Amino acid sequence: MTAIKFCGITREEDATLAAELGAAAVGLVLWPGSPRAVAPARARRVVDGLPPFVTPVAVLVSPTADDVRRVVESVGVRVVQVHGAVDLETLIDGGWTIVRATSLAGGPAAARAIDPRVTVLLDAHDPARHGGTGTTIDWTAAAGVARARRVILAGGLRPDNVAQAIAEVRPYGVDVASGVEVAPGVKDAARMRAFAAAVRAAETEGRTTA
C-alpha cells in the first residue's frame, strides 16, 4: 500500500481526519520560516491526539543534533524530516529516524546516493521555502530513484494528479500539503478525502493491471 503523509498540519481536527483516512503520517513544520509553522506546544497537542499507528513527523530546516533533540523531547515525535544543509551522519548517530528531503536539482544519481539508512523525500527545488510550493517534480526522474531505494514523493500532488504520479513513480509514499489546503496550514476536509480516495483507487488500478 502507498503510504500517505499529510504535511503542514497545524490543527488538531485536520490530524484527526488524516488518521481517519488511513494516513501513515502527519507532518508538523517546526521551522519558523514556513507559513505552516506550528509552535511546539500546539504540535505537542496534535501529537498527543494521534492514534498509536499514525506517525508524527517533525519537519526542520538545517537542524543541528541539539535542535533535533529538543524537538524530539518537547513535541514527542518519532521521525524527523530534514531540509537544507545538515550533517546527516550526526543526525543518524543520534538514534532518530530521519527522512531526508531533497530535490532532483543535482540529478537522480545524487538522490540515489544519499545515505541508505534514511528515507528520501523528493520535492521541488526551492532553497527559500523548503517545500510546500505546489510545484510538481520530474516524475520520470523520480521513478529512477524509486526503483533504487525507498522514496516518498512530494511536490505539487493533488487529488487530481496523485493517481498518475503513483502509476509513474511507484513510490513508497506520497506527501501532500498545499494540494489539500484552503490556506497555508489549513486543510480542506473534502480535498483530504479526495486525495486519500485517489491514492487507494490508484492502488486498486495497479493491482488490476499488474
Helix/strand/coil percentages in the chain, nearest 5: 40, 20, 40
For position 209, what pLDDT does the model report?
A: 54
Grid cell, residue 75, equals 513535541
Note the pTM of the prediction, 2 decimals: 0.94
For position 33, what pLDDT does the model report?
A: 92
> Is there a contact between 105 and 150 (Cβ–Cβ < 8 Å)?
no
> Is there a contact between 3 and 119 (Cβ–Cβ < 8 Å)?
no
For position 132, what pLDDT does the model report?
A: 59
Q: What is the CATH number of the domain that holds 137?
A: 3.20.20.70
For position 51, what pLDDT does the model report?
A: 96
- Please report which helix (H) or strand (E) contains residue 5, including its range: strand 3-6
For position 138, what pLDDT does the model report?
A: 95
Task: Determine the structural domain holding residue 147 and report its residue range.
Answer: 3-209
pLDDT digits (tens, 9 = 90+) for 3-40: 999 999 999 999 999 999 999 999 999 999 999 999 99
Residue 140, Cβ neighbours under 10 Å: how many? Answer: 10
pLDDT lower than 50: segments of the chain: none
> Is there a contact between 116 and 149 (Cβ–Cβ < 8 Å)?
yes
For position 139, what pLDDT does the model report?
A: 97
Buried b / exposed e over 23-62, threshold 16 CB at 10 Å, is bbbbbbbbbeebebbbebebbbebbeebeeebbbbbbbbe
For position 90, what pLDDT does the model report?
A: 95
Residue 1, Cβ neighbours under 10 Å: how many? Answer: 10
Q: Which residues are part of the catalytic machinery? A: 7, 123
> Is there a contact between 14 and 192 (Cβ–Cβ < 8 Å)?
yes
Grid cell, residue 104, equals 532532483
> Is there a contact between 8 and 23 (Cβ–Cβ < 8 Å)?
no
Give the count of domains, the chain. Answer: 1
